[in-house]
Every structure is written in C-alpha cells, then in structure tokens.
Amino acid sequence: MKPIAVSFLLIASATFAVAQTSTPAASPATPALDEVLAHYVQALGGKAALEKLTSTTDKGTFEVPDFGASGPCEVYAKTGDKTLTSIEISGYGTVRRGYDGAAGWSDDPQGGLRDLAGDELADMRRSAAWNSPLRLKDLYPGIAVKGADKLNGRDAWVLEATIADMKHRLYFDADTGLLVRGDQEVKTPDGKGTGVMYFADYKPVDGVQEAFTLTYSSPQLSWNMKLAEVKHNEPIDDAKFAKPAGDTPKPAEAAPKAADTPAKQ
C-alpha cells in the first residue's frame, strides 16, 4: 500500500509555476465524504486487502521530457510510515529522498545531503503515511467534498482541504472510485503555485489496484514515472530509510524547498 504522496520536486533546480486547474462544478447529487472515501477503499480492493500489506517495492523509469533526461527509479515504503524514493537522472546524478518514520532527509548533487524541516518535513511526513486511503481524514484535517468536475470527459468528485494555508485537492473517478488526480499548492519565489499529479494505468497486484503511471504537469515542468513492477510484502530493512552517513548535512533552508503531492493510493 503506497503512501498518499510521493516527493515530486526531486530535481532541485526546478521551479514550480501556477498550473491551470479547473473549478469544481456544483452537483445536486454530491455524495457524502464518507461515501467517496468508502468507494475509494473498495475500488482499491477493500479494507481487508489493504491491511494485509506490509511493504511495497516499485521499480520503473522516470522521465523529464523538457530536459531530455530520464533514468531508473525505485520507490520503497513500509509500515511505520517509512518511505524512500531514489532516481538516477542522466546528466545530473542520483536523487534520494527518505523518511524513517520520524525524520526526513534529501540528498542530490546540487543540494547535497540535508535534513528536512518546517513545512517541507510536514509534507514529507504526510507523504510517508502508510495505508493512507484508510487515514485520509487524519492526513487532511477538514477535508470535504467540494463538488464535481470533468477529467478527460469523465465525472470526478473533488475533495479539498487546507493545510498551513495551502489547498490540497483530490479527484476521484465517480464511476470507478479511484484517485485520478491530486493538486497541491506550493510555495514558489513568485508566491503560491500549484503542482498537479495524474494517476493512470491501474492494475491489480495481489488484489490491490496500483497506478503504474504517474504524470506531473505545470507550465514550467513536466515529468512522468512509469512503473515496470510493483511488489508487495517484500522484506525491507529499516536501514534503507535512514539518513545516509556522510558529511554534515546542509540545513533545510540551504536548498530550494521540495514539495509533495498526492500519488499512488
């Protein structure tokens, strides 16, 4: 079972800009929040199936078309709210970002090894939440159904929450119940911007639906992650999520702020 979010600003030089988002349309048949959340859990395979999972190991490719860059990626997650994303970007190097259940860290060729703090750490903590579909009310306090919208010609229910003055929106396909898009406001040098993530190509793995294609889009940056394999309940040593040994980490404010947005489950 994936965390609700995965770190997506892994290229430290990338700058977010305001993405074009549509305004949810009112619907006279708007369902209750619990109904949307229950439909989501059922669409993924059901509460019992989700609770059987103890870890996930994803492997695939990461591509930044605008820069002509790509490389292999790996995403690990397990109970205890632990997560690690590792991406090898051609012409740039290896970018890693992890959370060990208490502390978050980032390591890349430009920013170096650094601790996460403040809003960035809070975002990372939420992104690492295990079995997040069962915990959305806790992860997004005040989340509510805002109405309906159209995504690629299909009806979707829009849920919204505001955390630390930043809006988060989750879009669920009204028919399948699956998460198909997530928006998150982020801080940029020019003020607030919005990162938009799309989830597609769902496939069943051990009775649980997993999105095999993740696509991020904004006016200034686009990337996609395509998974080749997803494995559940593989043993993962806790040491994998710990901050690497090395030079004294740079303080969090020394590098551009990374952001997180809803992703797989």
Q: Which of 183, 198, 199 is nearest to 146 (CA)?
A: 183
Provide the sign of the torsion angle of the four alpha carbons 59, 48, 51, 144, taken in this order.
Answer: positive
pLDDT of residue 29: 84
Look at residue 229 and tell me if it is in a domain: yes
Q: If you count them, how many residues does the chain have?
A: 265
Q: Which amino acid is at 253?
A: E
Give the CATH number, domain containing residue 71: 2.50.20.10
Look at residue 247 and tell me if it is in a domain: yes
The rounded distance, in Å, linking the Cα atoms of 232 and 213 is 17
pLDDT tens, residue by residue, 128-149: 999 999 999 999 999 999 999 9
The rounded distance, in Å, linking the Cα atoms of 34 and 176 is 16
Look at residue 139 and tell me if it is in a domain: yes
The rounded distance, in Å, linking the Cα atoms of 151 and 238 is 39
For 259, list phi and psi in degrees, rounded to 5.
-135, 160
How many structural domains comprise the chain?
1
Look at residue 265 and tell me if it is in a domain: no
Q: Which of 3, 18, 83, 32 is nearest to 221 (CA)?
A: 18
What is the secondary structure of 31-67 as a DSSP string? Answer: PPHHHHHHHHHHHHT-HHHHHT--EEEEEEEEEEGGG
Q: How many CA atoms lie within 13 A of 258 on its CB side?
A: 32
pTM as predicted: 0.85
Look at residue 183 and tell me if it is in a domain: yes
pLDDT of residue 44: 98
Look at residue 232 and tell me if it is in a domain: yes
Q: Which amino acid is at 226?
A: K
The rounded distance, in Å, linking the Cα atoms of 48 and 192 is 39
Look at residue 33 and tell me if it is in a domain: yes
pLDDT of residue 114: 96
For 246, list phi and psi in degrees, rounded to 5.
170, -155
pLDDT of residue 90: 86
Number of neighbours of residue 260 by Cβ within 10 angstroms? 27
pLDDT of residue 24: 52
pLDDT of residue 259: 38
Look at residue 56 and tell me if it is in a domain: yes
- On whether the CB atoms of residues 147 and 158 are closer than 8 A, the answer is yes
pLDDT tens, residue by residue, 73-92: 999 999 999 999 999 998 89
pLDDT of residue 192: 82
Provide the sign of the torsion angle of the four alpha carbons 183, 193, 128, 160, taken in this order.
Answer: negative
Which segments of the chain have a pLDDT < 70?
1-28, 247-265
Number of neighbours of residue 71 by Cβ within 10 angstroms? 17
Containing structural domain, residue 230: 5-260
